[in-house]
Structure 1
Amino acid sequence: MTDASGQIRLASAHQQVVASVGGVGGSGIVASENLSPGQDSVSKMGVSPPPSKTPAKRSPKDYIFGKAIGEGSFSTVYLAKYIHSGKEFAIKVCDKRHIIREKKTEYIKREKEVLNLLASVPRLTAPFFVKLDCTFQDSNRLYFVLSYAKNGELLHHIEKVGSLDVPCTQFYSAEVLHALEHLHSLGIIHRDLKPENILLNEDMHILITDFGSAKILSPDDEKEVEAECSDDVDTDSSNGVDEENGAARRARKRRNSFVGTAQYVSPELLTDKPVSRCSDLWALGCLIYQMVAGLPPFRSRSEYQIFQKILKLEYEYPDGFSPVAKDLVEKLLVIDSKQRLGSKDDLTGEHGGYHSIRSHPFYEGTNFDTLHCSSPPKMYPFLPKTSEHGEMRSDYSVPDNLEPGLDDRQLTRLLGLDLQDATPVATVPVATSPPPVTPVKKKSTAGIVSGRTGIGELLWGLPKETVEDVEARRRRKMEAQLCEAKWHPFVEGKLIVKQGLLDKRKGLFARRRMFMLTLGPHLFYVDPVAMVLKGEIPWSQELKVEPKNFKIFFVHTPNRTYYLEDPEGYALEWCQAIQDMWTYTYGILPPVNSDMSSNPSSSGAS
């Protein structure tokens, strides 16, 4: 192929992309003049054409582009501000050459068509979709100007708190269900419903996005689903020859290939079954499971193994999983799509909807028609009730009228044990608050820790000690650490001031890790079996520690809450050690040792 012929083919493909994904019609949506060829596809869907007066063209120069807030396989999403109004939008920028090379024209066209259809036939009680404001293009790129979801992906919030409590899961899964009712009533199947594609607006209501994998059902598609049901009935009473012929017939007429994300894909999309709205109901079951448990139900190291687990319905519920949520998930994660809860519901008409799902006890008391104007529940770290302890939902908010520090009196208050004196203590400036001191408690930890002493003497030293005394103590501690040598390779040469085995939970799933608090500060955690460094809890001035009882405590960071459990019951000592390190790193050194307070950096705070 010569360069000239190659350029001709590229130009032809470029025109095809423009013709396919060009204009945006529909009421209430601004259409760019240079994208008008795409209006025909909108008209075929029954969407009203734009008004006769052509709106002014838009271009990238009408927007101030900020940071990238998302990235796909052939697009990047930027936060941008419209210069004429100051309004913020999320602009999806697609590279034309990449679309042509990867043959993604249909994905772009499909997303535009779905967004137009949703804008043309809105449902006031289900405004749970991103909205397309306008589209435009230049010589190299296509631009989709979308509503901006200020609070990002639902996945981020699930990961931050570990798992959502039942009221939170009820609310957000109800919004997803109501959105699916509207989507499916229009004949649209999302096919890639997952926490990454569920965004949260500034009011913390959901906005479903990413319709590139969606399918708009035609009358032929509906007939194919009905024919599939008939084939299954005949197969049950037929011989092996009929079964073989039926399978061959289904294979010939199969038009859907695998789309979506492995963890949430329905079993019919992995076989020769036709696509139906029940595929989204399967994804809803996976979503509810993940909200409650913190991880998706089907997990493995490879997509192939995930697919095998899906086809075998191989998953398990962790301890503490809500029984009523479990019942709903089991009714949605059903291999036979025709037996899934909601599969037989009628979505047509004014009162159509997934009434069999709505009436499940999990949604008792939920008014689906007022969700959009309700205040969403706050997302908190949550530990369900178990046989050992009751509910320990964390409504973490630090009051301003309490004394800083984490001494015995503060721990008593935090654990709710101070029954006689409930009066808040007076505020004391941080500069005059001495560091909390933990009494020495000699207790071995299975040969790992020889003694559990407070770390204050390694940070500030004892009264009347000099900087040289503290440095000498640290050198002796480091020499002992080097002699043992088991954990030293994982801490980047830092001095370990406290270590111990903790159960690190992600949602309701727990893994035992060796945690090491070091100068720096750092809080590393290692897999004690594989002897592999798994990570560290990031330190910042916003880090907070919250004890829940003698075994369980939370470490709050800006992007995540770490839920930790000490099986030996020393959670309070961990809280105090972390608080000591925070005070040493970010606070003002107490005036107890005047020789040391003059030179904090020499004490190893760096």
Structure 2
Amino acid sequence: MAVVSDSFPVSPQHRMIPGPIDGSFDGASFSSHQASSGSTSSGTSDGSSPRSDPKAASAEQDGIVPDTADSENRRTSSDVQDRAADPPKLPVTTKRTPDDFIFEKVIGEGSFSTVYLARDIHTSKQWAIKVCEKMHIKREKKEKSIMREKEIMQLLGLHPSPFFVKLFCSFPDQYRLYFVMTYAKNGEILPYIHKVGCFDAECTKFYGGEVILALEHLHKLGIIHRDLKPENILLNEHMHILITDFGSAKLDNLPDVVEVAASSGDEDLPGARPRRNSFVGTADYVSPELLTNKDATRTVDLWALGCFLYQLLAGLPPFRAPNEYLIFQKIIKLEYSFPDGFNPVAKDLVAKLLVKNSKERLGSDAMGGYPVLKSHPFFEELEWETLHTIKPPAITPYLPASGDNEELRSDIVISPNIKPGFDEKQLSRLLDLQLREGSGLKPSDSKSNDSGGAKGTILDISPEDYAERLAVQAKNNQWHPFVDNHLILKQGFIDKRKGLFARRRMFLLTTGPHFYYVDPVSMVLKGEIPWSANMRPEPKNFKTFFVHTPNRTYYLEDQQGYALEWCRVLEEVRALTFDKRVGSSEQGKETKELKNSI
């Protein structure tokens, strides 16, 4: 796979000029095409090609060709130019229809489209198919937006880069439009941020570097994404990025479509005031100039890059508020701060990207462009030319250093070659061993008895004792209203960490089991850590412990120093509840029987 080189020329004839769309969407503008092969459909309703190269236009076919995504990723810019100038003769095949795919599940939803995971019945290859309802498109007047997205993806197909979702083909039926695209098997990067809390410097450098290469490629082609955010950064089967969703993108130096405020969601409305730039994108990542009607240039993507790097390292976006209006006010006033422990070199980088004057942002033409951005010390020793071929660093649970606390990482898998010494890592290993060996729980201990739990354990409560304790709790414990009439087994104030941010919460471990947490200031139930057989508490030191769940790792700090006790109790309840059982249905049945017996 190769990225288009710095010397790659982008002449005006390479641009995709929007063509008209008739109201029925049944013209050639949405016929099947080979976007990633360098031979695309015209994009016009009369079937004529918008490109100046007649040979490229002659390569149009009625059908689609077999997938060549792997070979396309290895093409160089010169290969693309050679093929555009003298395209090979492609076999004519039957046009694709929805009947050529098995639609397996929904993997994404937008304002006027749904994305499905689908399998080609002929090749068994998986695709992501974006399905747009024609009636909805017409009602919301999104015709130009749909055409713009398609044309930009066609342009990226002509000038391939490994960092983008590719459009394989598109076709209509009577009621819908279908766009067959690359399937990113590992989904969005956002859930990975949520799962581990934040990324370490190595992961941030790698994924930040790939996004920079992607933006550099886009901007050379004159494309402004305008909605770069973690939800639009996907991960392929090798954990490299694939940027998607060009619904808000535009081609630079071409008139933008008429748009109004994003809250209305309409285009081309009668009487709407035309303007070149308008608010698009997502509140957390939108740049100040898009909020103040100033000229929007490629630097809006550099602003979004700064927000992305901040969120990777801190765990949350830089501009946060209860509602979009307050977020916008903070963006316009540049009101954000770096939490304690933020990487100092990355802090300098982010501060040079989150600049109100777009011309002064690192990476802008006025500041020396992408070479200067890529030479920032944070990206020192990053191998830019071969980044797309390098194995990405592992994304693992990680708690960054803050205040007097050192950074902590998960040591669930312990190497047999134990190193000498007594540092934080060795302490974590010993505490975890103490938890596993000292709990005294064996498989036979997990069997239930008539009292609802193994004898001598935390769940060993007779129905009479349960009823009596629950009555006292309802009368005297201020946290009882938050636990759905379950008996509280253990409670305490714990700092819940997300990246570099911490919030004090009252944690309530109850029968069921449930592990609730409550905001003690507003007295609002904020959430619950989900239980499963795969839940795993992991002590890191006497104050800090991790709770691993299938979809997320929670980072908790007990300032009183009872982390090991919390882990012991959580592991005991988990083992008693889930060991030797299949799924959570039997656990729910047992809890129900216990309540009924009271």
> Given the two structures, how large is their TM-score scaled by the length of structure 2?
0.78
* Contact kept in structure 2, 1:32 and 1:136, CA below 8 Å: no
Distance 1:586 1:401 in 2: 32
Residue by residue over 1:209-249, the C-alpha shift from the partner in whole angstroms, topping out at 9 and shown as x without a partner, is 0001111112789xxxxxxxxxxxxxxxxxxxxxxxxxxxx
1:525 and 2:537 are equivalent in the alignment = no
1:296 and 2:317 are equivalent in the alignment = yes
Distance 1:508 1:77 in 2: 34
In the TM superposition, residue 332 of structure 1 has moved relative to its aligned partner by 0.2
Moved more, 144-153 or 35-44: 35-44
1:271 and 2:305 are equivalent in the alignment = no
Counterpart in the other structure of 1:106: 144
In the TM superposition, residue 539 of structure 1 has moved relative to its aligned partner by 0.8
Counterpart in the other structure of 2:170: 135
Counterpart in the other structure of 2:249: 214
Counterpart in the other structure of 2:405: 389
AA matched with 1:90: A
* Contact kept in structure 2, 1:14 and 1:100, CA below 8 Å: yes
Q: Helix, strand or coil: the match of 2:527?
A: strand
AA matched with 1:15: S
In the TM superposition, residue 584 of structure 1 has moved relative to its aligned partner by 0.9
Distance 2:341 2:54 in 1: 49
Q: Which one of 313, 327, 339 corresponds to residue 318 of structure 1? A: 339
AA matched with 1:85: T
Counterpart in the other structure of 1:405: none
AA matched with 1:496: I
In the TM superposition, residue 164 of structure 1 has moved relative to its aligned partner by 0.8
Counterpart in the other structure of 1:484: 476
In the TM superposition, residue 604 of structure 1 has moved relative to its aligned partner by 7.2
Distance 2:370 2:106 in 1: 37
Q: Give the number of equivalent residue pairs.
A: 512
In the TM superposition, residue 381 of structure 1 has moved relative to its aligned partner by 2.1
* Contact kept in structure 2, 1:29 and 1:132, CA below 8 Å: no
Q: Which one of 537, 556, 560 corresponds to residue 545 of structure 1? A: 537
Distance 2:596 2:493 in 1: 25
Counterpart in the other structure of 2:57: 49
In the TM superposition, residue 303 of structure 1 has moved relative to its aligned partner by 1.9
Q: Which one of 425, 437, 443 corresponds to residue 431 of structure 1? A: 443
Which consecutive unaligned segments of at least 5 residues does structure 2 have? Answer: 1-20, 64-93, 257-272, 419-423, 582-589
Distance 2:308 2:533 in 1: 34
> Do the aligned partners of residues 94 and 53 (structure 1) sit closer, same or farther apart at CA in structure 2, a change above 3 Å counting?
closer
* Contact kept in structure 2, 1:107 and 1:213, CA below 8 Å: yes
AA matched with 1:148: Y
In the TM superposition, residue 394 of structure 1 has moved relative to its aligned partner by 2.1
Counterpart in the other structure of 1:84: 122
* Contact kept in structure 2, 1:585 and 1:605, CA below 8 Å: no
Q: Helix, strand or coil: the match of 1:204?
A: coil
Residue by residue over 1:553-604, the C-alpha shift from the partner in whole angstroms, topping out at 9 and shown as x without a partner, is 1111111111111111111111111101101101259xxxxxxxxx999767
Q: Which one of 535, 552, 565 corresponds to residue 560 of structure 1? A: 552
Q: Helix, strand or coil: the match of 2:51?
A: helix
Bigger Rg, structure 1 or 2: 1
Q: 1:502-513 residue pairs with structure 2 within 5 A?
A: 502-513=494-505
Distance 2:491 2:478 in 1: 12
Counterpart in the other structure of 1:378: 394
Counterpart in the other structure of 2:485: 493
Distance 2:108 2:46 in 1: 26
* Contact kept in structure 1, 2:226 and 2:248, CA below 8 Å: yes
Distance 2:536 2:417 in 1: 17
1:582 and 2:591 are equivalent in the alignment = no
Counterpart in the other structure of 2:18: none
Counterpart in the other structure of 2:364: 343
> Do the aligned partners of residues 323 and 17 (structure 1) sit closer, same or farther apart at CA in structure 2, a change above 3 Å counting?
farther
Distance 1:253 1:137 in 2: 30
Across the aligned residues of Structure 1 and Structure 2, the Cα RMSD in angstroms comes to: 3.6
Q: Helix, strand or coil: the match of 1:276?
A: coil
Q: 1:44-443 residue pairs with structure 2 within 5 A?
A: 48-49=56-57, 51=59, 53-55=61-63, 56-123=94-161, 127-218=162-253, 254-344=275-365, 354-397=370-413, 415-417=428-430, 430-432=442-444
* Contact kept in structure 1, 2:36 and 2:166, CA below 8 Å: no
> Do the aligned partners of residues 196 and 41 (structure 1) sit closer, same or farther apart at CA in structure 2, a change above 3 Å counting?
farther
* Contact kept in structure 2, 1:31 and 1:50, CA below 8 Å: no
Distance 1:299 1:47 in 2: 52
In the TM superposition, residue 476 of structure 1 has moved relative to its aligned partner by 3.5
* Contact kept in structure 2, 1:551 and 1:565, CA below 8 Å: yes
Distance 1:18 1:260 in 2: 30
Distance 1:564 1:38 in 2: 62
* Contact kept in structure 1, 2:303 and 2:355, CA below 8 Å: yes
AA matched with 2:523: M
> Given the two structures, how large is their TM-score scaled by the length of structure 1?
0.77
> Do the aligned partners of residues 462 and 271 (structure 1) sit closer, same or farther apart at CA in structure 2, a change above 3 Å counting?
closer
Q: Helix, strand or coil: the match of 1:567?
A: coil
In the TM superposition, residue 504 of structure 1 has moved relative to its aligned partner by 1.1
Moved more, 211-220 or 393-402: 393-402
In the TM superposition, residue 413 of structure 1 has moved relative to its aligned partner by 7.1
